Amino acid sequence: MMTDTDIISTTLQNNLRSAMAAELTTIPTYLYAYWSIKPLNDGGSQAGAQAAQTIMSVIVEEMLHMGLVSNILNSLGGTPALTESPYLPQYPCPLLRPPISEGEIDVEVKLGRLSYDSIKNFLSIEFPEYYDLCSGILTLGQFYEQYIRPELTEDLNYCSRRKQLPTFDNPGVGTLIQVGCQQDALKAVDLIVKQGEGFSNNEHEDGEHELAHFWKFLGVYRAIEQGFLNLDTDVYQVIDAPYEHEYNQEQQEANRAFNSTYSNLLDELQSTFSSNHPEVFYKSTTLMKQLNRQAAVLRNTGGTVPDTDDLPGPTFEYIPAGERVN
């Protein structure tokens, strides 16, 4: 018979799996916008380069957040499930999967080139818990505060340093905290929330002298609004909400090659987070660089998407191992 502690731990483990999936879900949408920004050597501006740098800084911190949540989950005896349904993202999709509770509206995550709409979507994802976005909307910060932190204050059984990612080779600003007790777990959640939204409405930094994600994205929005970043000349006109069936044959083949590498990346992350002796992101970083090249190849394949003036972009779909093309 399950005790109250067992029930709380099981619920918390499921919520932590959803948290890992949510952190993962943000990465492709941020990458899609990042890859749409023209580099300086292809006619892009300094403002565009700064926006790209800002978005990439958030991406690497989202990787850190996945690692932190994995450390909490493993310390409680759970197992990550990045490549299992319903945790896999299929864009457009809810930020949190499966639904946490009835009556709450989730933020929808979309793939799109850098634009007012995409930055607004990013701001919704990272919206500070201390502001009221809209009655019933559950943001990422609110999810941690309402469904992760309270459970962590309970008297749970931690497996000391079980399957913990090492503190070296950290992918982003902040500490990759190894979790062996309640205090460690709460520290990890504090870092995730502060990097996403800042300390408070008066302190916009994350404690590491870096702006929190919400305020970084707000800076990009203002650069567009004030005309420093030109959406017509600084951004490749990559299609919003891409679907492979809309592509011509060449584009479909290039997209499948991308998705095969993306699927290898998710498998590698799942393996890393589940390993008895995990190493931080080394192979994953190599696969990310390969994705960067393949996204550029896809963008330059087969002209514009049929019946549009837009260039093709990756659909970020998980392909089973036996069906991949590379």
Q: What is the pLDDT of residues 176-224, one digit of tens each?
A: 899 999 999 999 999 998 888 654 444 444 445 578 898 999 999 999 9
Can you read off the two tokens belonging to residue 151?
């459970």
CB 47 within 8 A of CB 234: yes
Can you read off the two tokens belonging to residue 110?
């979309």
Report long-range pairs for 50-58 (Cβ below 8 Å, ≥24 apart). Answer: 50/223, 51/114, 51/220, 51/223, 51/229, 51/234, 54/216, 54/217, 54/219, 54/220, 55/30, 55/220, 57/172, 57/173, 57/210, 57/216, 58/30, 58/213, 58/216, 58/217
Q: How far is CA 63 from CA 22, 72, 287, 303, in A?
A: 11, 15, 14, 33
Give the CATH number of domain 4-243.
Answer: 1.20.1260.10
pTM of this structure: 0.93
Output the average pLDDT for the chain.
88
Per-residue confidence band for 4, with pLDDT thresholds at 50, 70 and 90: confident
E strands, 4-112, are 93-94, 105-106, 108-109
Q: What is the pLDDT of residue 132?
A: 55
- CA-CA distance, 52 to 139, in Å (whole number)? 24
Q: What is the pLDDT of residue 103?
A: 52
Q: What is the pLDDT of residue 284?
A: 82
CB 20 within 8 A of CB 69: yes
Q: What is the pLDDT of residue 174?
A: 77
Q: How far is CA 287 from CA 152, 265, 282, in A?
A: 34, 6, 9
The torsion defined by the Cα of 291, 294, 296 and 300, in degrees rounded to 10, comes to -160
Can you read off the two tokens belonging to residue 246?
């809309």
Amino acid at 2: M
Pairing of strands 137-138, 105-106: parallel
What does the domain layout of the chain look like in residue ranges? 4-243
